[in-house]
Amino acid sequence: MQFLSDNAAAVHPAVWRALHAADAPDSPYDGDAISRELDAAFTALFGRECAALWVATGTAANCLALSAMVPPHGGVVCHREAHIEVDEGGAPGFYLHGAKLMLAEGASAKLTPGSIAAVVDPIRDDVHQVQPHAISITQASEYGCVYQVSEIAEIAAYAQRRGLGLHMDGARFANAVAFLGCTPGEACNGVDALSFGFVKNGGMSAEAIVFFDTALADVVRYRRKRAGHLQSKGRFLAAQILAMLENDVWLHNGRAANAAAAEIAGAAAGRLLHPVQANEVFLKLTAGERAALRAHGFSFYDWGSQGARLVTSWNANPDHVAALASGIAAL
Helix (H, G, I), strand (E, B) or coil at 138: strand
Q: Tell which one of 14, 86, 149, 182 touches a copy of itself (CB under 8 A).
A: 86
Q: Which of 35, 57, 139, 253 binds a copy of itself (CB under 8 A)?
A: 57
Q: Which is nearer to a copy of itself, 212 or 236 (CB)?
A: 236
Are 282 and 143 within 8 A, CB to CB? Answer: yes
Rounded to a whole number of angstroms, the minimum distance from the CB of residue 44 to a copy of itself is 25
Pick from 159, 161, 139: nearest CA to 149: 139
Name which of 130 and 259 has its Cβ closer to a copy of itself. 130
Say how far residue 46 (Cα) sits from the centre of its chain: 17
Among 110, 167, 172, 223, binds a copy of itself (CB under 8 A): 223
Q: Does 331 bind a copy of itself (CB under 8 A)?
A: no
Determine, following the binding rule CB under 8 A, whether residue 301 of this chain makes contact with a copy of itself: no
318 Cα distance to chain centroid: 24
Q: Which positions from 176 through 215 interact with a copy of itself, judged by CB under 8 A? A: 199-200, 204-205
Name the helix (H) or strand (E) containing 262.
helix 249-266
Residue from 14, 16, 151, 248 touching a copy of itself (CB under 8 A): that is: 16
Q: Is 251 in the site for a copy of itself (CB under 8 A)?
A: no
Question: Could you tell me the strand order of the sheet in which 301-302 lies?
Answer: 280-284, 307-311, 301-302
Beta bridge partners of 101: 76
Nearer to a copy of itself, 228 or 270 (CB): 228
Q: Is residue 297 part of the contact set for a copy of itself (CB under 8 A)? A: no
Q: Which of 232, 269, 288, 319 binds a copy of itself (CB under 8 A)?
A: 232
Among 108, 131, 138, 258, binds a copy of itself (CB under 8 A): 131
Q: Tell me the closest approach of the beta carbon of residue 157 to a copy of itself, in angstroms.
A: 26
Q: Which of 209, 213, 185 is nearest to 197 (CA)?
A: 209
Count the neighbouring beta carbons within 10 Å of the beta carbon of residue 172.
29
- At residue 308, φ and ψ (nearest 5 deg) are -150, 150
